[in-house]
Structure formats: C-alpha cells, structure tokens
Chains A and B, each alone.
Chain A
C-alpha cells in the first residue's frame, strides 16, 4: 500500500515533473521579483543615483541645495541656510510667509485631509447606522475613486467650476455674480475631497459596522448613557479607521499630480508637478533629488501610520452588528429631527461635490458653445482622427493604446499580484519585509517610476556589452502593471488569508503539491477576488497618468488620459467627450469589481 503513491511518481524518487511542480511557486516568485527589480527597483534606483551623482562622484549637494532653498522649503529652509531661528519663526507667523513648494504641498495635503475626513465621516455615519433604499449601492460606490482616472475628475471639475462651468451657469441663472474657482487652492482641495472622502467613508463604515452590539448593550446595562456608550465603546473602535483614512489621504494628496496639474497649473505647483516640470526642462538631477525628498516624506507618514496600526489593530470578527435605524422614524423626537436635518444638508453638499463634476462633464460633452445639445465634440474627435497633424493627438490611437496597455498591464499584474498575495499570506520570518517591498510601488510617485523607466529602459542600459532598450509602449505597460498589481494583492490576499489553512493542508496530505493545491483549492475559492483584482489592474492602467505622461513624451504611445490633458487647456468640449469615453470604460471595470469583489477587498 505504502509504495503506491511513490510508484505512481516513478520509482522511489519523486519524478522530475513533480519536482518541477514543487518549484513552480518559487519560479513564479523569482519571476515576480525580477519584474519588480527591472520595472521598479532598478529604475527608481537609477533616479536615486542620478540625484547624488555629480561629475562622476557621489554628493548630497543637490539635496542640500533643495533643503536650503526657500523656494522649496519656505521660511524653515533659512534655518539650514544659517539664519537665526527667532527671525525664521517671526517670519513664519507673519501673513506673507513663504511656504515653499514642499510646504505648500504639505499644506494643501493637510487641508485636503481635513476636508476629506469632514466629508467622509457623515457618510460613514449614514452608511453604518441607517437603513434606506440604495444604501448598499452607495456603499459599493465608495470604491469608485480608486478606479476613476484623476484626469477625468479634473475635467469634471473644470466643467463644473470653470468660467463657463455649471456652477457659474447656475449662479447666473440665480442672478448672482460668477466666481472663478479654477486655479485656486479651493478647487484643488474640493477635488481631493471628491477623491478621498469616499475612502475615509469606506474604511470608517467597515470599522463602524464591525462594532459589536453586545459591547454597547453591556456598556448601557452598566449605566452608560447613549452618548457615553458611543464615546467609550464605539469611538475607540472607529477612530483607528478614521486615522487610516486620514493617513492614506494625506499620502495620496501629498503626491498628487494630475488634479493639481489640471486645476492648479504651475502657479499652484505641488512637489510632484514641479518634479514633472523639472523633468520636462531636462534638469534630471534636481528632479530626482526633489522626488526623493517627496518619497521620504510620504514613506515617513506611511511608516509612522503603519507602526501605529500594528499596535492598535483589533478587528472583532463575527460580532453582532448594531441594528440600523430607519432614515424616516415613525415618531421622531426633537433630537432625531436635528440629526436628520443635518444629514439632509450633508446629502445636498455631497451631491454637489460628488455628482456635479461627473454630471457637468457629461453635460459639457453634449453642449455646444451656444448652449444647445450637440454631438459636435464627439464629431470633432472623429474628425481630428482624420485630419490631425503629426504633432496633434489622434483620438483613436489614444483609445487603442489605452485598451492595449490595460490588457497587457492586467496580464502582467495578475500573476504578480496573486504570487505576492500567496507569499504574504503565508507565515514565515521576513514576511513583513516581503510585504513592504512588494507594496512599495503604492508609495512611490509615478513621476519617479516614469523617469526611472525613461532613463533606465527606454534610453537603454548596457548589460555585459549588450545594449538593452525597451520601447515606450513596453515601458508604459510595465509601469502600469507595477502601479496596478498592489491592488490585485489587496483584493486577493484577504480572501486567501480568510481561507481555512486546513483546506490547503488537506489537499497536500492527499498528494497535491503546493502549486496544485493553489490551483485546485485556493484559486477556485477566491476566484471572484482574482477577477476583481484584474478589473482593478485594468482600471488603474486605463486611468494612469503620471508615469504615462513622462513615458509618452515623443513616443507615439499616448493614452486617453494624456489626450484629455492635451485637450483640456484648449478645447474643453473634446476633453469632456474623451472623458465620457473613459468614464464608460472604467464604469465597466467598476461593475466587474463590484459584482465579484464582494466584501473581501482589503482597501
């Protein structure tokens, strides 16, 4: 009996194919690491080296210059330049203080974070504590910003808040003077809130829903009033989630690019925008040094947060959730009225912030200069396709490129993401390190990755006498895959982690190799999450702007977001028309994510 399984494998030893299968996971892991090194760590590394290399030697001069330059660091930079601290402090509190680009970036990120939390918390309260028709739909819509191309959002905001935008049309109809919010800090902060408030709402709602009703009932039975029970029991469980949302929002908005580029221009440049400008001006060393300073700040915030999270992560599972209140109570008390009036006001505000940009964009795409409904912008796109000059953007290649790159990026990102998900859900020493190394692309700015790929791969590298170059298109696919695969990991890993370990162990005891168990047991069980991850990767690629804008220069490799950016300054109509096309494509991705991703998403 004992030798049967062995006999089947060809004699006393395990057969060659069997050994190969046993190593398959290792093989995949090596391939994924290699891809990450080539497409991420090496390019980012070259940027780093670029920043410290001066005339063949290493120097931190570029950093020192930036840190000492008030143009970048505002008044505090003078401290490093040797000014008296007191004088600096006095200037800092004076009204005409200089923040510098880094200071401004942090300032707008902080404002955006506050706005996002302010806009996100009432939504979390509404979604977690009330029952009303459409609640589930709205809850699932909170994932949308992850897949919404930011350049499209920018178009929507221009269509809403621009000189001829919806807002001014409404104000004009009411007989009020027009306002021009475009190229103001307010527009940027609102756009960031549009983007990040749903994230805050999403993580907070999840935490709120996992509060055990039993814990509150216990507090109440021990003598705590409703408010006291909220402060003592609910708030401590919810506020780590709020902090998660806030930390992520700060990091995202600190590295913001397309929104500021489109809504702020170079007058309101953030670090990322300025890095882009330096790249365009071919000041690579300064761009690299600035990008690294940005990276250090983002990673610092993220690491500080992760350290905090590691200490305070308690997620009760299987708790009995709080019962939801009806939105319209049968016999409302005065207090209930106040709450509901407040919520109604909130709904109006959020409708303006969240719906107006999208609606305005769609409206603008079918509105002519005379205000009548028209398809002229779409016709313009079609005409431009036929008549465009060599330097002009043709719509069809943009759409074709976008779809092609997205398919390629998804095909690359999916196996990478699954492998990393498998590796990070197993227990072993150094798992956290693997996790961090694999997730780093989330934190590093697309400009740096794009710049690295441009300098490292597109311009070519010399390896053992061979000159290796990649075309712009290949570099874009790789950059998109690197940007998208963390989302695959984040959708697939929770599913894998939630799987009972004994399922895999049963399969293995029955004779399946590790890879076979993955194929036969784990993947079929987390399949919806894998498909959702693929849709994520696809949507991220479709909307990716930052790395693409660096890599697409010169090459005939522009995508829809790039086309929109080219149109946006000159012709809003075609930009909005292109935006609608983009909206349709990403909308389809969202439907796939929503239908299949379920609640297993990690983000």
Chain B
C-alpha cells in the first residue's frame, strides 16, 4: 500500500510499535547519571557587535559522542574553539569535570583536536606527527613513545606508515593520522571540527563508521562539529542543532528527527513539509467533528483509526487547522497538548516526506508533480500545491496530479503562536 521508500518506512513502523520515543528517552536518562565531562554555562562569544555564540549552556557527558550541527555561521565551530581554548568566551563559563578552565591555555586542557584540513605538520613524518604530543605528556599505559605511536597507527588502520611523508598520503589517510596524533597523548576530550568535509561522500561514510568505532572502543568524550545533518544523525549519541549562535534543540538523533523542537530544526534536519495555519477547532473536539473538515474521507479515517490503538488515544489530542482554506487535522504530543492551542491560534506542524503518503486518504491534498529526482532506492518528488512546495518520496517517479495524505498522528507540531 505504501509507496514510501521501504526501508525508511518499515523502520518508522517498527519504532512506533516498539515505542521508539521511549527508547530514546530511556537512553537519555541513562546518560543523565553519567558525570559531566564538559559543561558550557551561559557561554557567549562576541566579535564586536555580533554574538557568534549566544548564551549557550550544554552539558556533555563522559564518554558521550556529542555533535554540534547547523548551517555555516551558526556558531558551532566557535563553540568547539571555546571548548578547546583557542578562543576566550566573552561571557559565561566553560568547565572541564566541574572545574572552570577560564584562562587555561589550550595546551593545558587535555584536549585532542582534529581539523577539517588535517593540519599535519608538513616538516615531520607521520610518526613524528603522532609522537608530537608525547613531548608534553607520558604515553598512557606505561608504553614507550615508539610503542604508543605504533599502537595509534594500528588503531587508525595505518600500520607501518610512521616513516612516511604526510604529503604522500591521501585525504582519508591524512585525516586518520590527524586522529591518531590527537589521541596519542590520551586526551580527556576529543574535538573534531568538520573532520570529513574535505572528503568525498563514499569515503566520508566509511570513515565515520571508523571514527565512531574508535570512539566507542576508547570511550572518549567526543565533540563533533559538522554541517551535515545526515552525518550528525548517523554518528552521535546526542545532537545539538544550532542556529544563530544558540542550540535550538539538544537531544538524541531520533528525537531530533521525529520530534523537532522548532521549525528550524524540523526543516534543517532532513526534508519536511511545513503547514502553518489557524486553529479552527481545539483538541477537546471529538473525531466526529473532524469528519466535517476532511469531508468525504470521514469513513476511511475512522476505519483506519480503529485498527491502531494509539490513534484512539491520540484522537483526543488532535486539532484542526486551516491552511489556505483547506482544513487538516494534526495530532498533538504531550508537550504541545499541554499548550492546549485555542481556536484562532497560529499553529505550525510538519510532516516528513515518508509520512506524506501517495494515495493516503486522510488529510488528502491534490497536488501536481513539479520535479522528480530519482535517487535509486527512492524517488524524491517536489509537488506543487497551490504555489506551495511539498516533498514526498515514492519508489518510482510519478507525473501529473497525485493525491497525497497524512495521518494526523504523523504530523508533528513545532510551534503554537497565541492570538
């Protein structure tokens, strides 16, 4: 029945049935007990009038893989540089293990940093690069410098390359040497600043699996900066989606994807269809009233709702909104339900392309295919609906007019504006 890319679709179903959100939340609360490795407390960094980082508070836990993601200029790299000590905050405090590191220079912070451009010392061999940090710290584990270098090069899968010239390595190899060099002195925190942006897509995917594996093996607290939301979702324990110098949402990847806290997060992480309209009937209304909104779809919706128990629960937490004279029903989750939107409020909800089903009969929209990109496993199509763009996915490209619809429960409310 569903024309959505099968893998993604089944994944969604699975999560919902198994209570995916609760699983995420559970992981989150486990983490809550872990000690905090790095804490930012109201940290601000101003350059003249503009705040690159604006009152950021984050708690990065020990052993966590934490990612700062956002478009360029969102302050993610500055945040990383504040943690590394390359920049001094204009306001607020950075703490390592509970202690303020104000005025502590980078060399005394026990951080390992990997830059996008590798920053290997060109006048040293690979081995000398990796050994450089051992001039200032004993190799961990009571091994000799040489043993430590060999150990690290082994870890990044580049054994026997100690005598090579960095310039003779490929981009991916350089990046792994940079990683080995950063890890050699056994830092408390590993900071990665867009480490893979200069690499091609396929290599990037391979390398990120490797990076995550090394991180898990060492259990090292890692802060990762990237502009690539897909990479952020794939690699992280938790993600901070940043915009305008502030994190819009800090949560595990699945929460960020399924329950974006703001419209910005909804649109930055993955594709999304955003509907903004006026609330026409509040959540107290029963499903019967909704029937008038969706017209002829009434019966179909009822029968479908009947087959899914959580929908029964959710039906009480639905509101109707009007977008360009067209009425939709959207579900509210616990958070938005608490806000109890009233008729007249402006409400913004989003629906993932995989939830906007072709031929779906609830909240049906008739739109015209404007563009179809065949991506292999799916086809990503842009639909024109009265001058608005909608994104849907299907197995094969379609053309002309199509009917799409979504289940109210798949709509996620990201904002309620009181009137």
When distances are taken between beta carbons in the complex, the residues of chain B under 8 Å from A500 are 117, 119
Query: A residues within 8 A CB of B178?
Result: 506
Contacts A6-B108, A520-B132 given; does A525 touch B122 at CB 8 Å: yes
Q: Are B137 and A4 in contact (CB under 8 A)?
A: yes
Using A505-B84, A505-B113, A524-B123 as known contacts, say yes or no to A510 and B182 having CB atoms under 8 A apart: yes
Inter-subunit contact B137/A509 (CB<8 Å): no
Of the candidates B107, B122, B186, the one whose C-beta lies within 8 Å of that of A512 is B107
Is B19 positioned at the interface, with any CB of A under 8 Å from its CB? Answer: no
Tell me which residues across on chain A come within 8 A of B186, comparing CB atoms.
1, 4
Chain B nearest CB, measured from A132 CB (Å) = 32
| Binary contact readout A490-517 vs B (1 if CB under 8 angstroms, 0 otherwise) | 0000000000101101111111111010
Report whether over half of chain A's contact residues are helix, strand or loop; otherwise say mixed. Answer: helix
Question: Could you give, for residues 175-211 of chain B, a 1 whenever the CB lies within 8 Å of some chain A CB and a 0 otherwise?
Answer: 0001001101111100100000000000000000000
> A510 — which chain B residues lie within 8 A by C-beta?
107, 112, 132-133, 136, 181-182, 184-185
- Measured CA separation A14–B112 after assembly (Å): 19
Query: Cβ of B135 < 8 Å from any Cβ of A?
Result: yes
CB atoms of A511 and B185 under 8 A apart: yes
- Residues of A within 8 Å of B107, CB to CB, are 508-513, 516
- The reply to whether the CB of A295 lies closer than 8 angstroms to some CB of chain B is no
Q: Verify B135–A2 contact, CB threshold 8 A.
A: no
Looking at A5, A9, A513, A514, the one whose CB has the most chain B CB atoms below 10 A away is: A5
A514 neighbours in B (Cβ, 8 Å): 105
Most chain B Cβ neighbours within 10 Å, of A2, A22, A516: A2
- Indicate if B91 sits at the interface (CB-CB under 8 A): no
| Chain B nearest Cβ from A458, distance in angstroms | 44
Contact between chains at B121 and A509 (CB < 8 Å): no
A420 to B77 CA separation, bound complex (whole angstroms): 29
A-B pairs with CB below 8 Å: how many?
Answer: 92
Q: CA separation between A310 and B285, bound complex, in Å?
A: 67
A2 near B97: Cβ-Cβ < 8 Å:
yes
Question: Does the CB pair B181–A8 fall under 8 Å?
Answer: no
- Residues of chain A within 8 A (CB-CB) of B119 are 500, 502-503, 505-506
Residue of B nearest to A12 (CB): B99
With the chains together, A524 CA to B122 CA distance in Å? 10
Interface of B is mostly: loop
B347 surroundings in chain A (CB, below 8 A): none
Q: Digit string of B121-164 for contact with A (CB within 8 Å is 1, else 0)? A: 11100000000110111101000000000000000000000000
Interface size on A, residues (CB 8 A): 27
Alpha-carbon gap, A5 to B113, bound state (A): 16
**How far in angstroms is the closest Cβ of chain A from B76?**
16
Interface residue ranges of B262-294 to A (CB < 8 Å) = none
A510 CA to B113 CA in the complex, in Å?
A: 8
Considering only residues 65-107 of chain B, those with a C-beta below 8 Å from chain A are 84-86, 97, 105-107
A521 interface hit (Cβ, 8 Å): yes
A2 partner residues in chain B, CB cutoff 8 A: 97, 110, 188
Interface membership of B111, Cβ < 8 A: yes
Between B106, B111, B115, B137, the greatest number of chain A beta carbons within 10 A of the residue's beta carbon is seen for B106
B140 CB, min distance to chain A CBs, angstroms: 6
Are A4 and B136 in touch, CB under 8 angstroms?
Answer: no
Interface string of A1-26 (1 = CB under 8 A from B): 11011101100001000000010000
Q: B194 CB to closest chain A CB, in angstroms?
A: 11
A111 to B112, CA, bound (A): 60
What's the minimum C-beta distance from A526 to chain B, rounded to whole angstroms?
10
A residues contacting B by CB (< 8 A) are: 1-2, 4-6, 8-9, 14, 22, 500, 502-503, 505-514, 516, 520-521, 524-525
3 smallest A-B Cβ distances: which pairs?
Answer: A511-B136, A510-B133, A502-B119
Known pairs A4-B110, A509-B84 / 8 extra A-B pairs, C-beta < 8 Å: A4-B186, A5-B136, A6-B108, A22-B105, A505-B84, A505-B115, A508-B107, A511-B135
13 A–B contacts from the bound complex (CB under 8 Å): A5-B137, A505-B113, A506-B113, A506-B121, A507-B132, A509-B109, A509-B113, A509-B182, A510-B107, A510-B133, A511-B107, A512-B132, A512-B135
